[in-house]
Structure 1
Amino acid sequence: MDTITLGDVEITRVVEQPPAGLPREFVFPDVPRRDWEANATWLAPDHWRPEQDEVLAVMQTWLVRSGGRTILVDTGVGNGKERPYMPFFAHLDTDFLHNLARAGVQPEDVDVVVNTHLHGDHVGWNTRLDGSAWVPTFPNARYLLARADFDYWNPLNEHRTRSGRKMQNVFEDSVAPVHEAGLVTLWEDSYVLDDALRIDPAPGHTPGSSVLTLTSGTDRAVFVGDLLHSPLQFVSPDRCPSFDEDEAAATATRRRVLGWAADHNALVLPAHLAGSGAAEIRRDGDRFAVEEWAAFA
């Protein structure tokens, strides 16, 4: 498995689906092809396929072992989900639980699940199908969800969202069952997991988007969820994907979090980054640049 150690914390990359291409104009409709071509020497082939004009993304979970606990950061798409308006997430049958077992973790071993936000590709394995019912996949875990996202995506609240129908069924099959099972902690402001890990708000992509910051010894890292969908956003932090609910807020948050990461030599771990999966960055004027890719294969 792809594992690194930062201070006293171990991080393992558990892949649900290997990198797949999505049309650039679907993911970044407002970012012209010339921006990608200008950075093709380092974006291709891991993050952009010029011939197909596709952005590559991987579905993965970060397995974190800290303070004697087993923590999952985001849970991917899940198997058997009905997603009528997101067909590439529908009715999957992946080996995710087998891949998790290869990392030495059974569902009953998980102590904490951190959902950085509640989009369907971050909460899917919160639940699994048992007969005709969706039940918690990790029955002994405490699921940490931002109240802002829980309230925003709850269909009973009838919020008008940019995602619209793309979120159909997500709350009902992947969020509500763990809440009804009494496994959810709805946090506000911030949440401290242990001496090394803290969750903080990072709104914009969704109202309750969050980042998980790791501080252990001299090492720093930040799990940023969907704060960025491509390393192009390191060099163009004001560029937004079509999935951001509030682009202005997402841009401000991205600049703030990436600025902290650059100033503290922190490893940046997005949810979907292909290739090495993570990077250390540095400031480059009012932008950022990759200082070093992570050691994940």
Structure 2
Amino acid sequence: MTLTFSVADLTIHRIIEQETTFLPALEMFPELPPEVLAAERSALRAAQALDAQDTLILCFQSYVVKTPHHTILIDSCIGNDKPRARPVWNMKTDDSYMRALAAAGLSVDDIDVVMCTHLHTDHVGWNTRLDNDRWVPTFPNARYVIAQREYDYWVAQNAKAEVPAFADSVLPVVDANRADIVSDQFAIGDHVRLLPTPGHTPGHVAVAIGRGRDDAVFSGDLIHSPLQLCYPELSPKFDVDAAQAAVTRREFLDRYCDTPTLCCTAHFPSPSVGRIKRKGTGFACEAV
């Protein structure tokens, strides 16, 4: 299993919390025709993206990127001690995430910036940890970067009814004055830029990293499964705006197709990282 990648002056570490079955493909993608699944079944199984019962296999992970100037964590995964609807996430207490961080030679103190592609449960969980019945920032030296549109959307949702992940993994960071709520034009020096990719959530962003060019891009939940490379218009049931997500996804894939940019996906099975190539009317990810 490949956990570390190098490109230009960047080092990229995968920090895996879980790699496991998720939902049946036909449930995850309500508009997926059974005959299309049948046609792609063998390729998906060969890629370890689908099990024998047609359940999707997803990886839940963070990326840590070391630039010449910063150590940046992108999306903080699931987290511990948190009430969640999904049983394998609910009140979890394992040390898999922290062991993976240590295996990369890192501690929570080493992270300078935490960047959130969006604010769903499995992308913000380790933003905070439980300390004497209080949620405190897990990465004490980090600034937490959140896109303004994304933050505003979840403030409004939380005002209607409490959103657990927002309440325990985002608001405590804001209350601790560790959050930077930023515009879509936000950048860190000449190495880190946001790329607006709305649809999955209204303020979803990808993160592009590289000096003066996109050496690597982190797609967040713009793409969940290799199946969506073959059929970019296929949106999962979790997309807030499925039609917008489909347009954004194809634009993203067209932008990075047949370029040297490493595409670092949030949920593809290992190795999760590759370069986008054109394949017929769709795309493929050539693993590196």
TM bin, normalised by shorter chain, reads: over 0.9
Q: Confirm or deny that 1:250 pairs with 2:245.
A: yes
Q: 2:81 & 2:214 partners in 1: Cα distance?
A: 39
User: 1:117 maps to which residue?
Assistant: 118
Give the partner amino acid of 1:258: L
Greater mean alpha carbon deviation, residues 179-188 or residues 167-176: 167-176
Give the partner amino acid of 2:257: A
User: 1:214 maps to which residue?
Assistant: 209
SS in 2 for 1:48: coil
| Contact 2:49/2:225 (8 A) holds in 1 | yes
SS in 2 for 1:80: coil
1:195-206 superposed matches below 5 A: 195-206=190-201
SS in 1 for 2:209: strand
Displacement of 1:39: 1.9
User: 1:171 maps to which residue?
Assistant: 166
| Contact 1:203/1:209 (8 A) holds in 2 | yes
User: 1:28 maps to which residue?
Assistant: 29
Displacement of 1:37: 2.2
Q: 1:230 & 1:23 partners in 2: Cα distance?
A: 12
Q: 1:109 & 1:289 partners in 2: Cα distance?
A: 35
Displacement of 1:180: 0.6
| Contact 1:24/1:55 (8 A) holds in 2 | yes
Q: 1:259 & 1:224 partners in 2: Cα distance?
A: 13
1:10-159 superposed matches below 5 A: 10-45=11-46, 46-49=48-51, 51-83=52-84, 85-95=85-95, 96-154=97-155, 158=159
Task: Pick closer, same or farther for the CA change 1:124–1:147 going to 2, 3 Å.
Answer: same
Normalised TM-score (structure 2): 0.93
User: 1:162 maps to which residue?
Assistant: none
Extract unaligned runs of 5+ from structure 1: 160-164
Deviations, residues 89-109 of structure 1 (Å, cap 9, x unaligned) = 211123211210121111111
Normalised TM-score (structure 1): 0.90
Identity %: 40
| Contact 2:259/2:275 (8 A) holds in 1 | no
Give the partner amino acid of 1:90: N
Greater mean alpha carbon deviation, residues 89-98 or residues 128-137: 89-98
Task: Pick closer, same or farther for the CA change 1:92–1:72 going to 2, 3 Å.
Answer: same
| Contact 1:17/1:58 (8 A) holds in 2 | yes
Q: 1:245 & 1:125 partners in 2: Cα distance?
A: 23
| Contact 1:151/1:157 (8 A) holds in 2 | no
Displacement of 1:86: 3.2
Q: Confirm or deny that 1:241 pairs with 2:236.
A: yes
Give the partner amino acid of 2:104: A
Give the partner amino acid of 2:287: W
Give the partner amino acid of 1:57: L
261, 279, 289: which one aligns with 2:284: 289
SS in 1 for 2:31: coil
Q: 2:60 & 2:158 partners in 1: Cα distance?
A: 29
Q: 2:137 & 2:58 partners in 1: Cα distance?
A: 26
Give the partner amino acid of 1:127: T
Displacement of 1:156: 6.6
Q: How many residue pairs are counted as aligned between the two chains?
A: 285
Q: 1:43 & 1:170 partners in 2: Cα distance?
A: 31
Displacement of 1:155: 5.0
| Contact 1:13/1:61 (8 A) holds in 2 | yes
Give the partner amino acid of 1:47: A
| Contact 1:12/1:62 (8 A) holds in 2 | yes
Q: 1:182 & 1:123 partners in 2: Cα distance?
A: 17
Q: 1:30 & 1:92 partners in 2: Cα distance?
A: 32
Extract unaligned runs of 5+ from structure 2: none
Displacement of 1:216: 4.3
| Contact 2:157/2:163 (8 A) holds in 1 | no
Q: 2:277 & 2:213 partners in 1: Cα distance?
A: 17
Displacement of 1:173: 0.1
Give the partner amino acid of 1:250: A
User: 1:8 maps to which residue?
Assistant: 9
Displacement of 1:168: 3.1
Give the partner amino acid of 1:169: P
